[in-house]
Structure 1
Amino acid sequence: MKKQCTILLMLLSFIGDNLSAQQQTGDYLIQPVDFTRVHFTDQFWAPKIEVNRTITIPYTLQKIHETGRIDNFLKAAGKMPVGKITEFPFDDTDLYKVIEGASYSLQVRPDEALERILDTLIQIIGDAQEPDGYLYTFRTMKPEKLHPWISENRWEKDPDLSHELYNSGHLYEAAVAHYLATGKRSLLQIALRNADLLVKDFGKGKAAFFPGHQVVEMGLARLYRVTGKKEYLELAKFFLDIRGDGKIKGAEYSQSHKMVTDQHVAVGHAVRAAYMYTGMADVAALTGNRQYVNAINDIWKDVIDHKLYLTGGIGATGNGEAFGDAYHLPNMSAYAETCASIANVYWNSRMFLMNGDAKYIDVLERILYNGLLSGVSLSGDRFFYPNPLASMGQHQRSEWFSCACCISNMTRFMPSIPGYVYAQKENDLYVNLYVANKATIELPAGKVSIEQQTNYPWDGQVKIKVKPEKEKSSFALFVRIPGWASQDAVPGNLYTFLNQQKRPIPLRINGKLVDYKIENGYVKLNREWRKGDVVELLLPMEIEKVLAHPSVKDDNNRYALQRGPLVYCLEGTDNKDSSVLNIVIDKEATFENAFKPEFLNGVMVLTANGTATKRQVDSYQLLRSAQTVMAIPYYAWNNRGATEMQVWIPFNESAARPKPAPSIATKSRSSSSVGNARMLRTLNDQYEPQNSQDHNGGYLHWWPRQNTTEWVQYDFDSTYTIAESTVYWFDDEPFGGCRIPRSYKLLYLQNEKWLPVETVSMDSISKDIYNSIRFKPVRTNALRMEIQLPEAHSAGIHEWIIK
């Protein structure tokens, strides 16, 4: 029996973690098929997972070494002088997450060298752990000055800032992954010592601090599944139940403003929120808590109906990396953090396991192919933190972030994707995702081999070969019919297809057409299966135009393009004048598709006829020119440098942003004391801001500088006589760090000297309107603005016009 249990433990997946019924009281009725049993053979995901293994994991290990994250543990162990430490007290988790991702990778592809690296890193982590199990390098290393987010005593800090328990949660996730991959208990023992400390310190009558950043709840549930130790599950529930109980001041930011069972809409920091909803689902599945289920059902509906980007991203605003109000889904300033997409996959996966409805897989698939995959470059070593749906060229993938959570999160997530393809409930086998693969699945009816042959997502033809180990075997195969194939763009009514005509979705068994009905998004094929049985599904891969709910103001008079599960975008690199924000494509335009195998690692591109618009000098009439427009999958954008991009295409000129008319400003070379080329391009783009804190357009700012004198300058293309300057200030009060300046003045260049202009009249410095200075005419080839920043804030500029 002991040997059998050990084997069973080794088969746990990072989302399933199956244990026998004797070891726990309950769990999800549906269980995912372990990703180690599903072997991708496709040309879409398999190469990307291989890039993660060969490029992203080594790259991230190198960067966490270069940036001092490993040194933090050595310092905590007394093996290095403390000196300078890294920036954030959650930097420890980057190491944990890379170990987790590397462990998943080892389960699929053994690598002795990588395994030895992990052994060394785990030894370093263990040396930093205090004797009672406490593991938090920023405190243990005893720096000269504690980080401002850390209190003198353990646990006793503003919960929104403290990341002690957050770090523990990611440690537990990594420890279980490493144990299951290698059979070694080295990291698991470190995690169990830490978890036992939490059990000792927290609970009724003990410390009553909730985790500021959720994830420990998920980690504790995983440890419970591995060990069967009920105290871990009880502590996970305790951490959920004390949120919003009024004993500690809470906030919407961390979902602590109310008891979790009293929350019915999504608010606050999107990553924290989705991790919490996932933890609630885990605890509910293991304990049968219906109040948790009722709450997350309501919250899921709120997100789907009001707060989900078409790409599957969540978190509309950078202010708090948070959900916005209902229907507040700006495109250019969309935050849609990569970590939030990963958390959203976890949450929707749990919702499916709990309910067995394909609508959750519809959302999960949308995230995987769009908002999540966009977070990493095709090369595997450049990354997005936010994932906007429009850009003026100010967005660029980065090689690293000081807050590197999204990078290490992608590293750990990619190897696990095969674990979302299949799921089972007794003798019910669910086919959730379509990827060419071979899998072996244990059902009560016997072992079954499944093979998918498909070129999805480029092609809708799917062939599923069923090979029971026995001569024949009776079980039900649940074949998912994606919502988009039935003309349901997304569950709920936030997005709809312009064309509502339903198309046939033929399904055959052994060549014979099957008459079926769809229930909860699946076709149930309950029969006696024999070796050689083949199920064939033909999904209609039509190019769909997507409309947003009218209340999503940013998408009015626009549509997006979708083909199969993929959302498309226009990128400047592929279109005339490197511009796409000025493009208009009629609602009735016909799009063609063509696969380009050598382009962006092989993608299907869409083309149609459209119109480009351009402003004229001293005229409201637009210049129009016809052109062929090309769209690429959203996930592939910004792999060829920074340029314009947009997902939502105007079909009405009122929604387009015409190219600027030639002016003194647009023909000038911009420079500034901040020296950021991308920000400088926004000074003269003729974008009309809605208000001073408008994040949809680009802007120049000097944050985090405060109380300094800064400058911005135009070098003209020729010598002009000028007499007026107009500026629109950027001010993101109350949450941001920029305010209108204390003062500013103009200087013009004459004989290599900067001279002040002679002011005739000057508007007061105000936000939300243009501020002008009129001065005696000067003839010059350069103009400079000197700005005095506020004492406690920075400042910024939306637009600077010269007349």
Structure 2
Amino acid sequence: MTTSNIFLLVLGLGAAMPAHAQQTADYPIRAVPFTKVKLTDSFWLPRLKTNTDVTIPASFARCEATNRVKNFEMAAAKSGKFATVYPFDDTDIYKTIEGASYSLSVYPDAKLDAYVDELIRKVGAAQEPDGYLYTARTIDPAHPHHWAGQERWEKERELSHELYNAGHLYEAAVAHYEATGKKTLLTIALKNADLVCSVFGPGKRTVAPGHEIVEMGLVKLYRATGKPEYLSTAKFFIEARGQYKGYDSKSADPFKNGQYWQDDQPVTAQTEAEGHAVRAEYLYSAMADVAALTGDKKLLAAVDTIWQNMVGKKMYVQGGTGAVPAGERFGANYELPNTTAYNETCASVADVYWNQRMFQLHGDAKYVDVMEKVLYNGLISGVGLDGKSFFYSNAMQIKNAMGYHDTEPARAGWFECSCCPTNLARLMPALPGYVYAQKDRDLYVNLFVSGNTTLRIGKQNIGITQQNNYPWDGGLKFTVNPATATDFTLRLRIPGWARNQAMPSSLYTFATPSSQTATIKINGRPVAYTLQNGYAVLARKWRKGDVVDLTLPMEVRRVLANAQVKDDLGKVALQRGPVIYCAEWKDNNGKTSNLIVPAGTAFSTAFQPGLLNGVMTLTATVPAVEVEATSVRTVPQAFTAIPYYAWANRGKGEMTVWFPERVTAVDLLSQPTAQEAAAGK
């Protein structure tokens, strides 16, 4: 009996599941579940612990303090007035429950478990008898939230987020069941999903959900139950795009032509990452899911094309996506401004989900390369080192402490729209599930994180232990411990950045090629290896205690942007290993907008254990521009760069990622006014 069938029987659903509902097609590569991977490293493990000890409790406390919990209580009583700002505020509770559930799998906590149970009781009490669950209407059906419309689903395409709420409910429910074995939240979710499937589908109501994620959620319920309606409804929602006739297809306004909602044309005709970045990347993740489960080749071709467009023309060097503040959306090809960069943290979360799915479809390391870039840079920049301060958007440059336009110069504890903090709370504890993957007798090592796991290849248990100090050190050790000598293939990812590839596209390149290469030893002896899809292929009979040493070159690399990215012409970014660096005011005489990093600058590296929870810094001497009343000059100055993810943990001030290589113009606007100088800004 398969694991999935055991799951169904425990759930009490297996006996009722028709034979045709048994899953046949799926991702050819399966991730090793996060519950089977125990981390011991000094980079990610402390972050996961902070998420458990600080982020999740803070999120629950803020859900209480901001009346998000009260909304459920009032919906149960059918009395009161919706007490928060947005109709999707329900999802902050669902996402935090999801994160808490994952956390409980690793760190059992009776008090947290009991609190989650009580929250789930409140959620269930707010559910209407037919399964409908949406506090913004249920509290006072005669006067629903103005985004919701007078009737259910009436404004789902643009504003109501009824199905967005449902999607996050489904994801939380599956996580809670898998973590605790309790069916309380899953029962609520299935009742709601059955209602959704009865309302939407061929011959029923049609809508392209305004904010995608219900599609991903329905797929998770399908995996949990095998009920075919959940998968077919997810596919129906995806295929509903591009059918709405109310948009002005000739308009250049993405809100008028439907592009903002990825609804301007059928998904199989879409070729670019477009519109609201978070919505888009949730849609693309669901397209990958449905393509894997149904074998839909047109859907697969479309999601492949869109991925290449994003990675080739619409991604920042630190992995951020969604350049345009107006609509939190993708811009045109190569539209990647720095001072107004948006880069919503939720988009980085969605990007991790999407790239993991693309890897599972194709087995190519380029997807993991992009995921690694996001994880070590544009994602964890979204949460402060304290675990309870956050960025909604992630800037690429701060020219003064006030910030520019919609750029955030400092972190906040919470937001009126607090989707990002709770999204981080649910992603972080699941990170161990991205380390390894398996296909038959092939074991993929994707992320380099100290820890151990045990999995089965054929009939044998295989233990794998990683030991490293990544991302600061390129020396990686893997100990293989099969129960008995076993033939299988170990596929070690050789990151693109260690193969002279800054990005799996022409969007970013290294300024000069490196002669250093990744080397591998098995049991102390150097071995030649074949590189296949970015993986070193090590096929052999593995014996207990076999040791693989992978050494990656950890040079400081200068990164150049494609010439069509106008904001980065004549500029350089700095990278070491997977980490993108920035300069912050605190380390550079109070400014960064006056720093020049010429070609040939020699950098020194040093690990600073007392700085920003321990970081590797880059130092050099560079020219700095000084502007006086009647003259401009450059003077030598000590320069320090820190990992991008660590900026804004020491107060407000200037920051930059892209440095000019020479003086081409002097931005007098970046000089402080007399009033600012007097105020110390």
TM-score (norm 1): 0.80
CA pair 437-208 structure 1, distance change in 2 beyond 3 A: same
CA distance in 1, matches of 2:211, 2:499: 38
* In the alignment, structure 1 residue 275 sits paired with structure 2 residue 287: no
Structure 1 pair 7–143 and aligned structure 2 pair: CA distance change class (3 A): closer
Quote the residue 1:594 is aligned against. 606
**1:43 corresponds to which residue?**
42
Question: Residue 556 of structure 1 contacts residue 655 of structure 1 at CA under 8 Å; is this kept in 2?
Answer: no
Asked if the contact 1:422/1:431 (under 8 Å) is kept, the reply is: yes
Measure, in 2, the Cα distance between the counterparts of 1:335 and 1:9.
46
1: CA distance, partners of 2:322 / 2:566: 17
Check whether the contact 1:345–1:368 (CA below 8 A) recurs between aligned residues: yes
What is the aligned partner in structure 1 of residue 93 from structure 2?
95
Is the CA contact 2:7–2:224 (under 8 Å) kept in the aligned structure 1? Answer: no
For 1:6, give the aligned amino acid.
Answer: I
Residue 574 of structure 2 is aligned to residue 561 of structure 1? yes
- Tell me whether 1:449 sits opposite 2:459 in the alignment: no
Q: 1:600 to 1:474 in 2, by over 3 A?
A: same
Q: How many Å apart are 1:245 and its aligned residue?
A: 1.6
SS at match of 2:332: coil
* C-alpha contact 1:557 1:655 (8 A) present in aligned 2: no
Cα distance, 1:223 vs. partner?
0.3
Separation in structure 2 between the aligned mates of residue 133 and residue 248 of structure 1, nearest angstrom: 30
SS of the equivalent of 1:583 reads coil
Q: Which residue of structure 2 aligns with residue 179 of structure 1? A: 177
What residue in structure 2 maps to residue 77 of structure 1? 76
Q: How much has 1:310 moved relative to structure 2?
A: 0.6
The match for 1:639 is 649
CA, structure 1 residues 597+185, in 2 after alignment: closer, same or farther (shift >3 Å)? Answer: same
Contact 2:169–2:189 (Cα < 8 Å) also in 1: yes
1:554-574: CA deviations, max 9, x gaps? 111110110000000000011
Three-state SS of the structure 2 residue aligned to 1:612 is strand
The answer to whether the Cα contact below 8 Å between 2:585 and 2:655 also exists between their aligned partners in 1 is: yes
Which stretches in structure 2 are left out of the alignment for 5+ residues?
Answer: 12-18, 248-256, 404-408
Contact persistence 2:29–2:437 (CA under 8 A): yes
Equivalent in the alignment of 1:6: 6
Aligned position for 2:14: none
Change (3 A) 1:648 1:114: same
Match of 2:251 in 1: none
Query: What is residue 615 of structure 1 aligned with on the other side?
Result: 627
Structure 2 counterpart SS, 1:625: strand
For 2:503 and 2:4, locate their aligned partners in 1 and report how far apart those are by CA, in whole Å. 43
Write the letter of the residue equivalent to 2:588. N
1:621-632 matches, within 5 Å, as: 621-632=631-642
**1:409-424 matches, cutoff 5 A:** 409-424=423-438
Q: 1:329 is matched with which residue: 336, 341, 358?
A: 336
Q: Which moved more, 1:501-510 or 1:119-128?
A: 501-510
Aligned match of 1:147 in 123, 133, 145? 145
> Are the equivalent residues in 2 in contact too, given 1:616–1:661 (CA < 8 A)?
no
Determine the structure 2 residue equivalent to 1:461: 475
Counterpart of 2:58, as a letter, is: Y
Letter in 1 for 2:462: V
Cα distance in 2 for partners of 1:9, 1:274 equals 33
Q: Deviations over 1:507-555 (max 9, x none)?
A: 0111111111211000111111110111110000000010111111111
Structure 1 distance, partners of 2:164, 2:76, is 21
Any unmatched runs of 5+ in structure 1? Answer: 12-19, 670-676, 682-803
**Alpha-carbon offset, residue 203 of structure 1:** 0.6
Equivalent residue letter for 1:555: D
Change (3 A) 1:9 1:383: farther
1:264 match = 271
Residue 603 in 1 paired to residue 610 in 2?
no
1:74 partner SS: helix
Task: Supply the distance in 2 between the matched residues of 1:208 and 1:55 (Cα, whole angstroms).
Answer: 42
Number of residue-to-residue matches in the alignment: 658
Q: Deviations over 1:25-53 (max 9, x none)?
A: 21100000000111110000000000000
8 Å CA contact 2:81, 2:139 repeated in 1: no
Instruction: State the AA in 1 paired with 2:525.
Output: K
Distance between the aligned counterparts of 1:413 and 1:357, measured in 2? Answer: 23
Higher helix fraction (1 or 2): 2
Whether the aligned pair in 1 keeps the contact of 2:389 and 2:411 (CA below 8 Å) is: yes
Return the alpha-carbon distance in structure 2 between the equivalents of residues 656 and 21 of structure 1. 68
What is aligned with 1:34?
33
Cα distance in 2, alignment partners of residues 10 and 500 from structure 1:
55
Q: Indicate how the Cα distance of structure 1 residues 660 and 109 shifts in structure 2: closer, same or farther if over 3 A, else same.
A: closer
Against the structure 1 CA distance between its residues 76 and 664, is the aligned structure 2 distance closer, same or farther, given a 3 Å change threshold?
A: closer
Question: What letter matches 1:501 in structure 2?
Answer: S
SS across alignment from 1:353: helix
Q: For residue 648 of structure 1, what is the aligned residue in structure 2?
A: 658
Distance 2:89 2:376 in 1: 28
The residue number in structure 2 matching 1:517 is 530
1:584 aligns with one of 589, 596, 611: 596
Q: Distance in 1 between matches of 2:204 and 2:21?
A: 31
Counterpart for residue 136 of structure 2: 138
* 1:387 has 2:394 as partner: yes
Structure 1's 545 and 200: CA in aligned 2 closer, same or farther, altered over 3 A? Answer: same
Matched residue of 2:531: which SS?
coil
Q: 1:437: which partner in 2?
A: 451
Task: Tell me if the contact between 2:469 and 2:475 (Cα under 8 Å) persists in the aligned partners.
Answer: yes
Which structure: larger Rg?
1
Which amino acid is 1:55 matched to? V
Distance in 1 between residues matched to 2:334 and 2:3, nearest whole Å: 54
Query: Residue deviations 1:239-271, cap 9 Å, x none?
Result: 011111235646000100100111011110000
The one-letter amino acid paired with 1:551 is Q
Q: Is contact 2:156–2:209 with CA below 8 Å preserved after alignment?
A: no
Q: Are 2:8 and 2:224, in contact at CA under 8 Å, matched by a contact in 1?
A: no
Distance 1:84 1:300, change over 3 A: closer
Q: What is the alpha-carbon distance in structure 2 between the residues aligned to residue 666 and residue 418 of structure 1?
A: 46
Task: Among all aligned residue pairs of Structure 1 and Structure 2, give the percentage whose two residues are the same amino acid.
Answer: 51
Aligned residue type for 1:27:
D
Q: CA deviation at 1:623?
A: 2.9
| Aligned mates of 2:3, 2:550 — CA distance in 1 | 41
| 1:105 correspondence with 2:126 | no
Cα displacement (A) at 1:501: 2.6
CA contact (8 A) 1:560 1:648 kept: yes
Amino acid across the alignment from 2:239? D
Q: CA deviation at 1:114?
A: 0.7
**Partner deviation per Cα, 1:263-312 (whole Å, 9 max, x = no partner):** 01111000000000000000110000011111011111111111010111
Equivalent runs, 1:332-411 vs 2, <5 Å:
332-391=339-398, 392-393=400-401, 394=403, 395-411=409-425
- SS at the partner of 1:569? strand
* TM-score (normalised: structure 2): 0.94
Aligned with 2:664: secondary structure?
helix
Give the 3-state SS of the residue equivalent to 1:77 in structure 2: helix
